[in-house]
Structure 1
């Protein structure tokens, strides 16, 4: 038995009696970041990075018990040393380092290596055991620098203005929306956000995190004034009444899955911009190399293919099903659907 174990509740450290990103209610949960598949309701105590704390309270309720820490702060629980380290995924995202008697594990949560200009950039952490996501763990997934992607987005927005169309850009309300907002060229025109995004931004700004302030689309009475605007909204709002009021409009999605034609077609998007908050193929391999880990455990995504590649290249790698996959198997009897699980994550 290693320092960390994989259970139905989540990744478990028995000596400290704590879980990491558990999917079922536990007494004490260390949370890598605020996305719903990692931060769930029902735990008695939450421990997270200080920038994740306001997000957890916004999403899970102000009454939850949260202890928050800075990056590299030492947390000792029954002799086990825990610390949070930048993951570069979204604001407040963290890798969790676990150490006891010289044995070191790192749980990455979700991460990316490119500096997005919003969250603290990823920092490599050396360890013996490296538990990594591999949402985009195939060689076909290789991202272009975000500057080039935003050049495309800015041109699309400007072209829509020439056609007297409102530009609506869909991205996940926590993470992607802030990245879009922070990196588009605000000199092109006014920027508005869906109210869900607005509330997240407002929460972050209130807690000292630098995000461009915008107006909520809910506060706009005359949609004719939006013809030159960019509106950033979550995908769930695509078919709601307010969208119909924006016609004529041009719609686009920002996601790592936009590199796949079927994803663009299924979302009925006029445009797709390949922009992911997860590590691509090259970044996954670099993160593993920089960790200097003796053992890599692949979770969340193309686990079998990625582990096979690592083993063929001299890196001892195994796989573990995510707790989400185990829950899904219990409910629908599926035996292996790593791609489907990956696609359900915010990308």
Structure 2
């Protein structure tokens, strides 16, 4: 894109009133009044800063997009022709005198936190991010979460309840490998369900490819190609349609989105065992309600200790909580002596973390949210 067509690098504008808060809520989404841009807006706007390419954060219809350069391939494949400027992590642009930079969130390929600096104040909007209570655990398919010092931190809280504490990743992957190996020994396919963008690639990067062949759904393979193009090492994969020898499926790990459960596509696998990988598998009864043989607790969002550690590392004296267990997290933050509140956003479960089949256990967990909050 030529310099004249770069809508994100603006010349100094005429003087304007500076809002007390750097980021506020608007009907379109989170908005920076001083810079006149939105962050992950859910309605069409002139300028949108995008934290990552999940569908609830990156939507069609905006005039211009700003995101990490590494996420460009996925964004263009999902949104079609868009006016997009990509930034390296840590690179900054000035928008109407507001300094904006993007920093690693550890969630999926190219995911970022948005740092906004103006008039001596620094705010950070986290988007979705992954970090856990186990300091050695990172999402190996993307740049790990990086704490960013700020005065105000806008944090997600998808799993913001004390019950959500992820097990060490190595233990979980060992369980998945053992399940796959046992199925292969018994001559049945292993259907592992996880969202096509992010979760599928994290599973592929963590499994032991020596156990057998790996087959993927058609919705997964284009994302695999985007990850490989970005330098992420993934094992060789085959689309189901490319498998000529059906005996191969008897030893195969098959990675597919949750929507295939019970479908004609899944029946092509013949005899198989199925499993679902999600943070919601932490909930009692979730695997049963999902109707799968196994449930593996694997999330690309921060767990309760991870949220606490991430917030503390920012040094922020003010925290705004979004999309998740907001009441519980706000209450806990206030007990720590911080100024805390919440934004009601339209970010949802488009990253596959809460399929409709889990409505009952999720609702029960939300009831626990209200009880815990007093």
TM-score higher than 0.5: yes
Aligned pair count reads 329
1:53 aligned partner? 72
Q: CA deviation at 1:195?
A: 1.0
1:31 aligned partner? 50
Q: Is the 8 A contact 1:168 1:231 kept in 2?
A: yes
Q: CA deviation at 1:146?
A: 0.5
- The residue correspondences of 1:68-83 to structure 2 (distance < 5 A) are 68-83=86-101
Q: CA deviation at 1:43?
A: 0.8
Q: Is residue 2 from structure 1 mapped to residue 2 from structure 2 by the alignment? A: no
CA distance in 2 between partners of 1:179 and 1:324 (Å): 22
Please give the secondary structure, in 2, of the residue aligned with 1:196.
coil
Q: Is the 8 A contact 2:56 2:346 kept in 1?
A: no
Q: CA deviation at 1:141?
A: 0.3
Instruction: Indicate how the Cα distance of structure 1 residues 241 and 221 shifts in structure 2: closer, same or farther if over 3 A, else same.
Output: farther
Please give the secondary structure, in 2, of the residue aligned with 1:51.
helix
Q: Is the 8 A contact 2:130 2:139 kept in 1?
A: no
CA distance in 2 between partners of 1:75 and 1:213 (Å): 38
Cα deviation 1:165-193 (Å, max 9, x = unaligned): 10010001111000000010111111111
Please give the secondary structure, in 2, of the residue aligned with 1:232.
strand
Q: Is the 8 A contact 1:26 1:44 kept in 2?
A: yes
* Structure 1 range deviating more: 199-208 or 118-127: 199-208
2:117 aligned partner? 99
Structure 1 stretches of 4+ with a deviation exceeding 6 A read none
CA distance in 1 between partners of 2:236 and 2:315 (Å): 41
CA distance in 2 between partners of 1:201 and 1:78 (Å): 37
CA RMSD of aligned residues (A): 1.7
- The residue correspondences of 1:306-317 to structure 2 (distance < 5 A) are 306-317=329-340
1:328 aligned partner? none
Q: Is residue 90 from structure 1 mapped to residue 90 from structure 2 by the alignment? A: no
Q: Structure 1-normalised TM-score?
A: 0.91
CA distance in 2 between partners of 1:49 and 1:211 (Å): 21
CA distance in 2 between partners of 1:223 and 1:242 (Å): 14
Q: CA deviation at 1:241?
A: 1.2
CA distance in 2 between partners of 1:235 and 1:323 (Å): 22
CA distance in 1 between partners of 2:148 and 2:282 (Å): 30
Q: Is residue 108 from structure 1 mapped to residue 122 from structure 2 by the alignment? A: no
Please give the secondary structure, in 1, of the residue aligned with 2:328.
helix
Q: CA deviation at 1:324?
A: 4.3
Q: CA deviation at 1:33?
A: 0.4
2:62 aligned partner? 43
Q: Is the 8 A contact 1:223 1:245 kept in 2?
A: no
Cα deviation 1:246-281 (Å, max 9, x = unaligned): 121000011100111332122101000001100000
Cα deviation 1:55-114 (Å, max 9, x = unaligned): 1111111x1111101100011111100000000001100000000021000000000123
Q: Is residue 19 from structure 1 mapped to residue 38 from structure 2 by the alignment? A: yes
- The residue correspondences of 1:62-211 to structure 2 (distance < 5 A) are 63-113=81-131, 114-211=137-234
Q: Is the 8 A contact 1:168 1:232 kept in 2?
A: yes
1:274 aligned partner? 297
CA distance in 1 between partners of 2:322 and 2:188 (Å): 42
1:213 aligned partner? 236
Please give the secondary structure, in 1, of the residue aligned with 2:215.
strand
* Structure 1 range deviating more: 203-212 or 286-295: 203-212
Please give the secondary structure, in 2, of the residue aligned with 1:83.
strand
Q: CA deviation at 1:45?
A: 0.8
Instruction: Indicate how the Cα distance of structure 1 residues 309 and 68 shifts in structure 2: closer, same or farther if over 3 A, else same.
Output: same
